[in-house]
């Protein structure tokens, strides 16, 4: 009878070497903590997975210039219909000017305080040009494209 069970196990699971010999004894449910297939089904069920909470972050663009006269030139460009990307490439002294002033996404504390105060302020409207904001680097015109967790 034992040989028949071993042969049956090989037929039902071809190519898999089973590390046990089937027995006629049954185990009580309390002694069996988790079966092999229970582990697989739990792994794919994602019942224990919870997406991490989205932290406080912002995505913004800016144009950095050295003085207020340059701010006036930039604002005149906007009045004439130029896009933010084009004006950033033309006037901004920040390396981000190559990407149209895009700073990507970042958390509070990544930028200088004056910059963070504007970007993470709930009163700052998404998509609107804000500034000039003075920092140690010069004067910024800022657009907050997205803000989460605030």
pLDDT digits (tens, 9 = 90+) for 21-49: 555 555 555 545 555 566 556 555 655 55
**Ordered mean pLDDT values, 10 residues apiece, the chain (150 residues):** 48 49 51 56 56 75 96 94 95 95 92 93 95 95 91
The pTM of this model reads 0.63
The CATH number covering residue 114 comes to 3.10.50.40
List phi, psi (to 5°) of 59. Answer: -120, 125
Secondary structure E strands in 4-137: 57-65, 102-106, 129-135
Q: How many CB atoms lie within 10 A of CB 50?
A: 7
| Domain assignment of residue 31, yes or no | no
| Domain assignment of residue 138, yes or no | yes
SS3 (DSSP) at 35:
coil
* Residue 149 confidence (pLDDT): 84
| Domain assignment of residue 101, yes or no | yes
| Domain assignment of residue 118, yes or no | yes
Domain count, the chain: 1
| Domain assignment of residue 12, yes or no | no
| Domain assignment of residue 91, yes or no | yes
Whole domain around residue 96: which residue ranges? Answer: 57-148
CA distance 126 to 121: 11
* Residue 40 confidence (pLDDT): 55
CA distance 49 to 47: 6
* Residue 9 confidence (pLDDT): 47
| Domain assignment of residue 17, yes or no | no
* Residue 116 confidence (pLDDT): 92
| Domain assignment of residue 63, yes or no | yes
* Residue 85 confidence (pLDDT): 95
């Amino acid at each position: 009878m034992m040989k028949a069970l071993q042969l049956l196990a090989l037929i039902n699971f071809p190519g898999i070497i089973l590390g046990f010999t089937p027995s006629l004894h049954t185990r009580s449910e309390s002694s069996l903590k988790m079966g092999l297939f229970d582990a697989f089904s739990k792994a794919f069920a994602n019942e224990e997975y919870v997406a991490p909470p989205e932290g406080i972050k912002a995505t913004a663009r800016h144009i950095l210039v050295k003085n207020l006269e340059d701010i006036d030139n930039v604002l005149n460009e906007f009045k004439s219909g130029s896009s933010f990307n084009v004006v950033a490439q033309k006037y901004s002294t920040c390396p981000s000017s190559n990407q149209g002033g895009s700073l990507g996404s970042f958390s509070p504390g990544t930028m200088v305080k004056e910059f963070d105060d504007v970007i993470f302020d709930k009163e700052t409207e998404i998509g609107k040009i804000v500034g000039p904001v003075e920092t140690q680097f010069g004067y910024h015109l800022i657009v907050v494209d997205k803000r989460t967790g605030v």
